[in-house]
Every structure is written in structure tokens, then in C-alpha cells.
Amino acid sequence: MPHMTQRNRKLIGAFLLVGSIILWSVLATWVYLLLPEGLPGLVLIGFFIIAGTGWMLPAMPLIKWMAKPDSSAESNP
């Protein structure tokens, strides 16, 4: 069974990253709309910090997978 090349992993990963960011933004918007009105500004700032940077946690393993170098056996057919 042939292994995936870094080039293919990057192509697939780019689509997965864009999809995950879209999904994360929809989820964050949904949660924001569920928040009660009149919350203090510091609570909202905390929410937006988490919502704005939280997408990185699931993206980091994907980026690591995309950047994994090809094995030497793969690059020399």
C-alpha cells in the first residue's frame, strides 16, 4: 500500500483546515448567540479570546501531520 506524500498531505490538510475553521466559526457564533444579554465586558473578552484562538488546538496536529517529511523509501521509487 503506497504511503501519502507530503504534497498530498498538504493538499488534503489545506481543505481540512479551511473546513475546520469554518466549522469552528459557526460553532463559536452559535455559542455567542446562546449567551445571555448584558454580560460584563471582561466575560465577553474572555469568550472572544477563546473563540478566536481555540481553532488552533485541533489545527496543530493536522499541521504537524501535513509537515511530516516523506520517508526516504517513498521519495526513491
pLDDT at 71: 78
pLDDT at 47: 96
- The pTM assigned to this predicted structure is 0.77
User: In the chain, where are the structural domains located?
Assistant: 6-66
Interatomic CA distance for residues 59 and 55, integer angstroms: 6
State the residue for C-alpha cell 448567540: 33
The CA distances from residue 66 to 6, 38, 43, 74, in Å, are 6, 43, 35, 16
- Cα-trace Rg, the chain: 18
| pLDDT tens-place string over residues 24-49 | 999 999 999 999 999 999 999 999 99
Interatomic CA distance for residues 70 and 62, integer angstroms: 16
